[in-house]
Amino acid sequence: MKKAKLFAGITLLSSVALTLAACGKSESRSDESKTASKFKEVVPTKAAKKGGTVKVAVETDTPFTGIFNDELSTSATDTEVMQYGAESLFGTDDHYVFNNKGAATIKVDQKAKTVTVEIKKGVKWSDGKQVTAKDYEYAYEIIANKDTKSQRYTSSLADLEGLQEYHEGKAKTISGFEMPDGENGRKAVLHFKTMRPGMNTSGNGYIWEAAAPYHYLKDVKFKDLMSSDKIRKKPLFFGPYKLQKLVRGQSTTWVPNEYYYKGKPKLSKITATVINPNSVAQSIKSRKFDVTQVINSQWKNVKDTKGVNFIAKIPLQYSYLGFKVGKWDAKKGENVMDPKSKMNNKALRQAIGYGMNVNEVYKRYSYGLSFRIPTLIPAQFGDYFDKNIKGYTYNIKKGNEILDKAGFKKKGTYRVQPNGKPLTIRLAAMTGNSTAEPIVQNYIQQWKKLGLNVKLTSGRLIEFNSFYDKVQNDDPSVDMFIGAWSLSSEPSPNDLYGAKAPMNYSRFVTPENTKLLNEMDSQKAFNHKYRVEKFHEWQKYMFDEAYVIPVANSYSITAVNKKLTGYSLKPSDSMGNGFPNWYNVAYAK
Amino acid sequence: MWKTILRRLLIMIPQLIILSLLVFLLAKMMPGDPFSGSINPNTDPKQIEALRRAAGLYDPWYVQYFRWVGNLFHGDLGTSYIQHVPVTSLIADRASNTFWLSLLTTILTYSIAIPLGITSGRHQDQWQDTSVRIFNYITLATPGFVFYILGLWLFGFTLGWFPISGSVSASASGFWGVLGSRIYHMILPAILYALITTTGTVQYLRTGIVDNKVEDYVRTARSKGVPENIVFHKHILRNSLLPIAAFLGNTITGLLSGSMIIESVFSYPGMGKLFLDSIGQRDYTTLTALILIFGILTLIGNLLSDIIMSIIDPRIRIQ
């Protein structure tokens, strides 16, 4: 399991919303690569001055919860409203690999099975106290102690020696967490059961990347922590800004943290205010805020706004078409594939893939802000992404050939199964914005051209909760489904497609898949070249078998006041928390 | 009279039990639960399962129901699954927001509707009446959410006169600053909401006046030589206000239930918004508490209306 901050902070719901929201009305688009160069990731750099207030829009339907603690927070909106103070311990390069430019340094030692973390001197909480090794350990305690009701405890984190014992209440301390210079020292040595090749990458899920102020929180009982004022009203952070004022659910106001280890930040104030997503386009046009996230379906309304820079990144997420070929065995905790299931036919799945005119659909409905993706490993992962795989490009002729060859004969309008039984495929798809329905209907029409009778499960699009209820519980009324994932920044697909992964909603298990996934995360895979090779092999395998067909991803665009400088969406410019480094943001002279 | 009230209060008990049972079961029947939204590749399903079990979501429904009812009797509405604070504090927070917004709205509604209704009834079929009726048809025919969004767009964004969301600005400080900011945030939603909810009141009042004008007692009063102004205010208007008084009880209790639509459009953190959010997030504890409160408010509202009616109209005496 992976770490749940940052990119990962986006839950299913919001990632789906993002993906679907990315489909708007028609506007032509050239090709994917051209669109990619349409946006920059950074606003132009200018000479900065001191002072000024930056107003940031927080777009959400619901008031934020306001649990200002990485170990306890479960909502993406909370992560968003605390980004100004909640800096992560580690910095990364643009491919999310740890570098030592953040608040702490990290060293992975495969042989000794240790990870050494050293917090830099001068990294201080907003009350002036040095961040210590104990603060780092305390984050682990908050996660693992059952009383806190944290959702963050995972079997991956339990790779740390003694964490499971602590979690189960069998041990009072975490035996694998060593503090060579004592609690007030800055050094921590973490002892692991098994070393993983992804450990040098942010979001790997084995190493927690935040600290919690022990000296400040130690008087609060674990069970009261989540609702305590020290978390909810007056939290401590070691990032560039500290929380000055909170209006529950509505806004947070931040002022410089004078103890910030890189120096005093330049802005005099930042306010983050909740606005209804329906008001976003108007807010950008009337420049109510200095930083606003664009909702892609409203792009046409806002793109000509003067006085703002539009910058964008491609988030770590994708939508996909999954085929149900088995069931989850809750007792054994593993996926069981049913070789006789309707969709367990490679030719059928491939043909369905060739029948999707993803590019045309998004050209029509998303202003070119969404685009087809060829493989299940996003291009942002650098060399792990296999650029030779072209994916399922729209090709009705090829689809028909494949089906003919595999014995799906036509009887009237539609094809029948090779055994002569009629074939109806039921597709589950989620409700989204106004374009969700036409997009799905379009696919159904294309599949009809292949002679495939595809019907919507329940006869219409399904609301988010019901959708996942059906998909997670392997409802027999679902043969295939269009879902979406937001990914962790460590590329291993084991948690989504492994034999023991409950989120492998297709329920496919093949020896080859298991072998490749294991190899990717094996000790041998500490060799980068070997790991890349295995990633490429897996992508080829998944393309060929088509148990899951990747569909699309979308730009995530931010409108930034032209007077601001230093605002960057590059991972290397982030504070390790997936958000821009606010220390660098200032008004231009 | 007291007997009646007591009897009505007693009838409320089985009504509330049935309501609470229905509410509870319907809430549980919704697909998904408070934890389904937090499932992503970065949480461990085992941990989520453990939390579900700890929260008692796997207990049989009657166990869950009686636990809930038991807590109710201790004044404990539970802890919100999503917000992680006691539901009582959450509701208290929102109820005060909603109360002030509704109060302002109600005052505005009556101060717009009553003069309009009187004008319209008094000058039946004249130009005043026609204009009021046109206004009435427009407000009746306009869907609330369209009207609110239009108002938000015009006064909030285009003219920039009013804030666009929330109940208080982030920069407000000090008692007066916060109070001022709160009122400032309420004005636009209250005016828009009031304008569109006047229809019923105007119409009832107008019809009342028109009907009463031709009643025998009015003719008698006139033939006795009572001045026209007194005939209108004492004889006609008083009687015409009865239908409005009939709604007064529910109007009073309605001050706390809020409006889902206006609160959503303005992202105003009130009871209506809380209700909507708790459905979306499957926040059972908040949801069931709110429905129960709404149910109690409706029952009390009806009772209040009956009591008010029996006080002001001697013809209606409940036995």
- pLDDT of A20-33, one tens digit each? 223 322 333 334 43
Q: Please give, rounded to a whole number of angstroms, the shortest distance from the CA of B143 to a CA of chain A.
A: 17
Q: Do B165 and A63 touch (CB under 8 A)?
A: no
Convert the pLDDT of each residue in A378-413 to its tens digit: 998 989 999 999 999 999 999 999 999 999 998 888
Q: Please give, rounded to a whole number of angstroms, the shortest distance from the CA of B227 to a CA of chain A.
A: 55
- Which residue's entry shows tokens 């008010």? B308
Q: Which two tokens stand for residue A117?
A: 């973390």
Q: Between B39, B51, B173, which is nearest A149 by CB? A: B51
Q: Do B157 and A487 touch (CB under 8 A)?
A: no
Q: Kindly give, in sequence order, each residue whose CB lies less than 8 Å from that of residue A319, ignoring residues fewer than 6 positions away.
A: A16, A19, A20, A482, A483, A484, A550, A551, A552, A553
The confidence score (pLDDT) of residue B39 equals 64
Q: Please give, rounded to a whole number of angstroms, the shortest distance from the CA of A369 to a CA of chain B.
A: 24
Distance CA A460, CA A463 (A): 10
Q: Do B40 and A283 touch (CB under 8 A)?
A: no
Closest chain B residue to A251, measured at CA: B170
Q: Please give, rounded to a whole number of angstroms, the shortest distance from the CA of A390 to a CA of chain B.
A: 26
- Choose from A163, A226, A247, A334 for mutation: most chain B CBs within 10 A: A247
Distance CA A438, CA A392 (A): 21
Q: What is the mean pLDDT of residues B259-284?
A: 86
Report the mean per-residue pLDDT for chain B.
84
pTM: 0.82
Q: Do A250 and B277 touch (CB under 8 A)?
A: no
Lowest mean pLDDT among A281-290, A381-390, B164-173: B164-173
The confidence score (pLDDT) of residue A319 equals 92
Q: Do B152 and A232 touch (CB under 8 A)?
A: no
Convert the pLDDT of each residue in A518-568 to its tens digit: 999 999 999 999 999 999 999 999 999 999 999 999 999 999 999 999 999
Residue A304 has pLDDT above 60, yes or no: yes
Q: In the 8-state DSSP scheme, what is residue A63?
A: -
- Enumerate the residues of chain B whose CB falls inside 8 A of the CB of residue A253: 170-171
Q: Kindly give, in sequence order, each residue whose CB lies less than 8 Å from that of residue A516, ignoring residues fewer than 6 positions away.
A: A534, A537, A538, A541
- Enumerate the residues of chain B whose CB falls inside 8 A of the CB of residue A276: 165, 264-267
The confidence score (pLDDT) of residue B40 equals 59
Contact yes or no for A267/A48 (Cβ under 8 A): no
Tell whether B157 is within 8 A of chain A (Cβ).
Answer: yes
Contact yes or no for A12/A278 (Cβ under 8 A): no
The confidence score (pLDDT) of residue A30 equals 36
Q: Where are the alpha helices (DSSP H) in A37-158?
A: 76-81, 133-144
Q: Do A74 and B38 touch (CB under 8 A)?
A: yes
Percent pLDDT > 70 in chain A is 94
- Enumerate the residues of chain A whose CB falls inside 8 A of the CB of residue B167: 247, 250
Contact yes or no for A371/A35 (Cβ under 8 A): yes
Q: What is the mean pLDDT of residues B45-61?
A: 79
Q: How confident is the model at residue A35 (pLDDT cuts 50, 70, 90)?
A: very low
Q: How confident is the model at residue A9 (pLDDT cuts 50, 70, 90)?
A: very low
Distance CA A364, CA A25 (A): 6
Residue B249 has pLDDT above 90, yes or no: no
Q: What is the mean pLDDT of residues B62-88?
A: 82
Q: Between B39, B41, B166, which is nearest A488 by CB? A: B41
The confidence score (pLDDT) of residue B295 equals 86
CA nearest to A82, candidates A9, A20, A137: A9
Distance CA B158, CA B281 (A): 33
- Which residue's entry shows tokens 């795989």? A389
- Choose from B91, B267, B279, B284 for mutation: most chain A CBs within 10 A: B267
- Enumerate the residues of chain B whose CB falls inside 8 A of the CB of residue A273: 165-166, 170
Which H or E run contains B249?
helix B242-254
Distance CA B26, CA A359 (A): 42
Q: Please give, rounded to a whole number of angstroms, the shortest distance from the CA of A63 to a CA of chain B.
A: 7
The three-state secondary structure class of B79 is: strand
- Enumerate the residues of chain B whose CB falls inside 8 A of the CB of residue A15: 40
- Enumerate the residues of chain A whose CB falls inside 8 A of the CB of residue B265: 276, 278
Q: Which of A275-279, B69-73, B147-151 has the highest mean pLDDT?
A: B147-151
Q: Between B160, B171, B266, which is nearest A271 by CB? A: B171
Q: Do B40 and A12 touch (CB under 8 A)?
A: yes
Q: How confident is the model at residue A231 (pLDDT cuts 50, 70, 90)?
A: very high
Q: Between B79, B168, B267, which is nearest A247 by CB? A: B168
Residue B256 has pLDDT above 50, yes or no: yes
- Enumerate the residues of chain A whose CB falls inside 8 A of the CB of residue B92: none
CA nearest to A175, candidates A203, A202, A137, A213: A137
ipTM higher than threshold 0.90: no
Contact yes or no for A56/A558 (Cβ under 8 A): no
Contact yes or no for B83/B73 (Cβ under 8 A): no
The confidence score (pLDDT) of residue A577 equals 77
Looking at per-residue pLDDT, the higher value among A568 and B238 belongs to A568
Distance CA A287, CA A277 (A): 15
DSSP character string of A278-322: GGHHHHHHTT--SEEEPPGGGHHHHTT-TTEEEEEE--SEEEEEE
Residue A223 has pLDDT above 70, yes or no: yes
> In the A/B pair of chains, how many CB contacts fall below 8 A?
157
Q: How confident is the model at residue A230 (pLDDT cuts 50, 70, 90)?
A: very high
Distance CA B27, CA B8 (A): 28
Report the mean per-residue pLDDT for chain A.
88
Q: Do B42 and A283 touch (CB under 8 A)?
A: no
Q: Which of residues 166-185 of B touch A (CB under 8 A)?
A: 166-171, 173
Closest chain B residue to A333, measured at CA: B46
